[in-house]
Homo-oligomer: A and B are copies of this chain.
């Protein structure tokens, strides 16, 4: 396959927005095109929209052509919406990568979007529960917070992970998130605020949870050859994989080790020709503080069971072993589910392009990784990128 790179990225402001679904698409789309002045809109032959539940949150289906109209483009090679719940964004990027890699597409736009603040919070809750197996788990009250709370309890039981470890994740999110103008929560929350925030599902408190956020983000992909004409610093795709195992909660082999995360990371790293220790900057799916602890382990950044200490010891900050969630992650940025995976890619691209505020700019940006999870942590998606073309 021919080498592919991301050349431009743009974001809508994340938060509780009065903007509609369509307006979020327009805002992120304009920002993305503005970041690629050397490219004409007419060159976009393919569009991939990452969106999880527009049918429920925006009462709108057929959303890829709908987005194309908002963006003023008429693609003629690939036009589709990709859904993988909370990992829809990265799934859309993976599809765009392959379309460009085959040569079917020359310029592909990926647009991740979700409008989650809807008038009826009850409708939102039941819609989110259908990300799980509704007939087996949703009907019993399972949804994201209680599920991840159970994972946290099990991880604490097995490995001695503590409240302080979870707090460390949130402190880091605030440390970097306060310098992210696109974030839903662009401020630092001190320890006492985190540990006294409302209990949601023990041990997870309000500030252990990512937000209910409206947002959209876009990236443009093209061949590595063309990329050179468009930017001095493209983000080269080196590899990617998605792994899934089971779906209903009773079928999970482990709640404290996420086996499909290990599998996806191993496959993606193998394809990219790297080891986890090679990664300079990573964006991981911290939908809850415990998620960042578990995936820091299962992505291979530290020994199993030591994620909490690794994070609390500063090893995932800029200057540590691997800089994780340099934009504040889902905890600070918010989690408009279809947009998250695309926003992660935008941050990695901007890290390579030296476009972020100095307080959250990593010095080394040679090898980069994005991790997106979905459902009952039964599906994990990993992409590996480099600031240079992949080593042969």
Residues of A within 8 A of B (CB): 1, 20, 22, 47, 52-53, 55-56, 59-66, 68-69, 74-85, 91, 94-95, 98-99, 101-104, 126-127, 130-135, 240-248, 251, 260, 263-264, 267, 271, 374-375, 378-379
Contact = CB atoms under 8 A, between A and B. Distances in A.
Contacts of A55: 53, 55-56, 127, 130
22 contacts: A47-B244, A53-B61, A60-B130, A61-B127, A62-B84, A62-B247, A63-B83, A64-B244, A65-B244, A69-B251, A74-B244, A75-B243, A76-B243, A76-B260, A78-B95, A79-B244, A80-B82, A81-B82, A95-B95, A95-B98, A98-B101, A98-B102
- Total copies of this chain within the assembly: 2
Main secondary structure of the interface of A (DSSP, over half): mixed
A243 B79 contact: yes
Q: List 3 A-B pairs, minimum CB-CB distance, nearest first.
A: A62-B85, A69-B247, A55-B55
A318 B130 CA distance: 46
Nearest to A264: B76
Contacts of A251: 69
Contacts of A378: 65
Given A76-B267, A80-B82, A131-B61, A66 B247 contact: yes
Contacts of A69: 133, 246-248, 251
Contacts of A135: 20, 22
